[in-house]
Amino acid sequence: MIKPHGSEELSHCFVSDEKDRDALLKEAETLPSLLLNSAAAANAVMLGGGYFNPLQGFMDLEDALSVAEHMKTRSGLFWPVPIVNLTDEDWIKSGQRIALCDPNIEDNPVLAVMNVADVEEVSLEHHRFMAEKIFGTLDENHPGVATFLGLGRKILSGSLEVLNFSYFEKDFGDTFLTASQIRSEIHRLGWSKVVAFQTRNPMHRAHEELCRMAMQDLEADGVLIHMLLGKLKEGDIPASVRDAAIRKMVEVYFPPRTVMVAGYGFDMLYAGPREAVLHAVFRQNSGCTHLIVGRDHAGVGDFYGGFDAQTIFDNEVPKGALEISIYAADHTAYSKKLDRVVMMKDVPDHSPDDFVLLSGTAVRKMLGDGVAPPPEFSRPEVAKILMDYYSNTD
């Protein structure tokens, strides 16, 4: 199986032993506590799940700035996005041991215990510098920029002992998996070549066929459909609805033992190219050999070029920095002329009228009006789940 990023064996920050967890929870009752923001809580969950291997905690300012500018830590580890715990609290001191509390669960239970190695002030200049490098813009209409600049100006670095996986385990018990659990399932299935498909949306016909194309072109054993389960921007479809729609599509339209459906506990950054590289890192940690990177991968609005998330792997990721490979996909659509989904670059003889093309806005309006999108765009079983959701949100 493909090696994890940056190490021979996968490591994680989750305290696996139940007795040790109980002891830490009791200790946490005696520790000063910090209520995390959702972004830091998501980072803790990802660290606990092994997705951010080989990291063992939050980065300090020097590493965060180095990662933002050069995509590597000062020790030389390739990494695309700073993994930080930013806050405005001013009582925390270097050398303290503190309890980190979950902002996403009622009563804010302890999520992790942190050994605070350092507490540093982040200047406005450095804060904005990191945001611009991560997101490629300082426009606060970009949801990721607005979130990042609002996280706080003190950076807490240090190692973590993660005690649970927040609401993801309870709310998505059949879907949430850690990186090590995915690797174990890949081993159980006997897969060698595995393609990952990232999604924060329900999958339409084009997404479904893209997974098939990648599996066929790469002669892969299986595909991991890996959905984000954390916080999204307003208007995006909730994870529970996406989960149901994707599972129905897989059940009806894919052969058994060719698809694994899983989810991960992270908040969407909408960081376009940089987030695409982060997606590659934690899919390598999950045991996948390939990641599908399509048009406007992890983008939002018009902030990124359609294929910026592909070209970053060619132009900015050093050769050999990652073992996972990229399957670069063009825009896919249903061809009325050929009666199947195609990559648009593969059919130069087509005109726009030869494709079934629907904008997200148009599809949401159809669903909200109780009208099923055409079968060339969405499987009827998937459309029904989405229509039921939209009819209950009026």
Catalytic residue among 21, 115, 153, 201: 201
What CA–CA distances, in Å, run from 107 to 29, 32, 80, 102, 110? 14, 16, 34, 8, 9
Each residue of 119-130: b (16+ CB within 10 Å) or e?
bbebeeebbebb
CA 250 to chain centre: 20
Each residue of 342-360: b (16+ CB within 10 Å) or e?
bbbeeeeebeeebbbebee
- 85: annotated active-site residue: no
Catalytic residue among 97, 128, 153, 200: 200
Quick one: which of 145, 138, 109 has its CA closest to 36? 109
Cα–Cα distance, 177 to 179 (Å, whole number): 7
Quick one: which of 100, 17, 75, 14 has its CA closest to 49? 14
- 200: annotated active-site residue: yes
**What's phi and psi for 264, nearest 5 deg?**
-130, 150
**Strand pairing category for 57-58 and 86-87:** unpaired
The residues that are catalytic are 200-201
